[in-house]
Amino acid sequence: MHNFEDELTCPICYSIFEDPRVLPCSHTFCRNCLENVLQASGNFYIWRPLRIPLKCPNCRSIIEIAPTGIESLPVNFALRAIIEKYQQEDHPDIVTCPEHYRQPLNVYCLLDKKLVCGHCLTIGQHHGHPIDDLQSAYLKEKDTPQKLLEQLTDTHWTDLTRLIEKLEEQKSHSEKMVQGDKEVVLQYFKELSDTLEQKKKIFLTALCDVGNLINQEYTPQIERMKEMREQQLELMTLTTSLQEESPLKFLEKVDDVRQRVQILKQRPLPEVQPVEIYPRVSKVLKEEWNRTEIGQIKKVLIPEMKISSKSMPCSW
Strand-pair partners of 78: none
What is the per-residue pLDDT for 44?
A: 47
Nearest 10 degrees: CA dihedral of 33, 39, 42, 45?
A: 70
Higher pLDDT residue, 315 or 243?
Answer: 243
Q: What is the mean pLDDT of the chain?
A: 80
Q: Give mean pLDDT, residues 251-276.
A: 86
The C-alpha atoms of residue 9 and residue 149 are separated, in whole angstroms, by 36
Of 173-177, 211-215, 247-251, 267-271, give the range with the top mean pLDDT.
Answer: 173-177
The yes-or-no verdict on residue 38 having pLDDT over 50 is: yes
Q: Give mean pLDDT, residues 148-160.
A: 80
Asked whether 261 and 235 are in contact (CB, 8 A), the reply is yes
pLDDT-above-90 percentage for the chain: 13
pLDDT band at 176; cut points 50, 70, 90: very high
**H-helix or E-strand spanning residue 272:** none
What is the per-residue pLDDT for 131?
A: 78
What is the per-residue pLDDT for 4?
A: 65
pLDDT-above-70 percentage for the chain: 84
Show the domains of the chain with their CATH numbers: 3-106 (3.30.40.10), 155-291 (no CATH)
Smallest Cα–Cα separation from 71: which of 16, 21, 18? 21
What is the per-residue pLDDT for 168?
A: 94
Q: Give mean pLDDT, residues 119-141.
A: 77
pLDDT band at 313; cut points 50, 70, 90: very low
pLDDT band at 291; cut points 50, 70, 90: confident
Give the pLDDT confidence of 66-94 residue by residue, as tens digits. 888 888 888 888 888 888 877 776 655 56
For residue 55, the SS3 value is: strand
* Triad 98, 102, 107: Cα angle to 5°: 70
Smallest Cα–Cα separation from 307: which of 191, 195, 211, 171? 171
What is the per-residue pLDDT for 46?
A: 45
Question: Does pTM top 0.75 for this prediction?
Answer: no
* Triad 78, 81, 86: Cα angle to 5°: 125
